[in-house]
Chain A
Amino acid sequence: NAGVTQTPKFRVLKTGQSMTLLCAQDMNHEYMYWYRQDPGMGLRLIHYSVGEGTTAKGEVPDGYNVSRLKKQNFLLGLESAAPSQTSVYFCASSRDRVESPLHFGNGTRLTVT
């Protein structure tokens, strides 16, 4: 019963490098989300998806891209990392019902130097 799995758990990048964060869920959820968590700012939505093949921008999408080629996977890409993208990134999923809670992965801690 894995739930939401994120890889990697930790990563250090140099400014300008690229990387992809992987998120997989095994609950057959329609909705998937990428959040970033920064001290004192709570969680901010980067991008989200309401189904396979669909993606949309959240509150802070600049510098990130996403893809959802398969229903169970949601990928977050950083094309050219910047120090401002140092953060903890969380993936979440939910059913397409307003009463459904979000299920979160354990996060990826990214440092950009």
Chain B
Amino acid sequence: AQSVAQPEDQVNVAEGNPLTVKCTYSVSGNPYLFWYVQYPNRGLQFLLKYITGDNLVKGSYGFEAEFNKSQTSFHLKKPSALVSDSALYFCAVRDNVGYQKVTFGTGTKLQVIP
């Protein structure tokens, strides 16, 4: 069975500093990995994905993520945090069989401090 772990419930970072939100995964085949962001009282919005190819993928709002197969990790990064980046971030893995089940992590709250 596939699974996703986000080890940090909350990450605090000062505005202008780099940020990292951690994610590790477990799948039986090739990983299809996604990051989503959720702002208050809104649904989740797609940020970026890894399907194949370069280990560093770029997404919306200046975010990028680094895929590491040996460590089964897919950490979300941004070189310089903005206060407006404060939100809830979810890592997800999608199965490649059947109905392509999507499994979400429990989410990490990012707080960017002015």
**Do A and B come together as binding partners?**
yes
Binding site for B on A (CB under 8 A): 4, 31, 33, 40-43, 45, 48, 50, 56, 90, 92, 96, 98-99, 101-107
> Which residues of B sit under 8 angstroms from A43, Cβ to Cβ?
44, 90, 104
Q: Does B43 contact A (CB under 8 A)?
A: yes
Q: Is the CB of A104 within 8 A of B43?
A: yes
Q: Closest CB of chain A to B21's CB: distance in Å?
A: 14
Top 6 A-B pairs ranked by shortest CB distance? A104-B43, A101-B46, A42-B106, A43-B104, A104-B44, A99-B51
Known: A40-B106, A41-B106, A42-B106. A31 touches B100 (CB 8 A): yes
CB within 8 Å for A105 and B94 given contacts A31-B100, A98-B100:
no
Bound-state CA distance A106–B43 (Å) is 4
B contacts with A: majority SS: loop
User: What residues of chain B lie closer than 8 Å to A4, measured between beta carbons?
Assistant: 43
Chain B residues with CB below 8 A from A45, complex form:
101-102
Interface residues of B in 89-112 (CB under 8 A from A): 90, 94-96, 99-102, 104-107
Q: List 6 A-B contacts (CB under 8 A).
A: A90-B44, A92-B43, A98-B100, A99-B51, A101-B49, A104-B36
A residues in contact with B104, CB < 8 Å: 42-43
Q: What number of A-B contacts does a CB cutoff of 8 Å give?
A: 55
What is the interface of chain B, defined by CB distance below 8 A to chain A? 9, 32, 34, 36, 41-46, 49, 51, 90, 94-96, 99-102, 104-107
Asked whether, in the complex, the Cβ of A105 is within 8 Å of the Cβ of B51, the reply is no
A104 touches B41 (CB 8 A): no
The residue in B9, B34, B99 that gathers the most chain A C-beta atoms within 10 A of its C-beta is B99
Which of A4, A92, A98 has the largest count of B CB atoms less than 10 A from its CB? A98
Please state if B90 and A42 are interface contacts (CB–CB under 8 Å): yes
With beta carbons under 8 angstroms apart, the residue of B44, B90, B99 that contacts A50 is B99
- Nearest opposing residue in chain A for B95, CB measure: A98
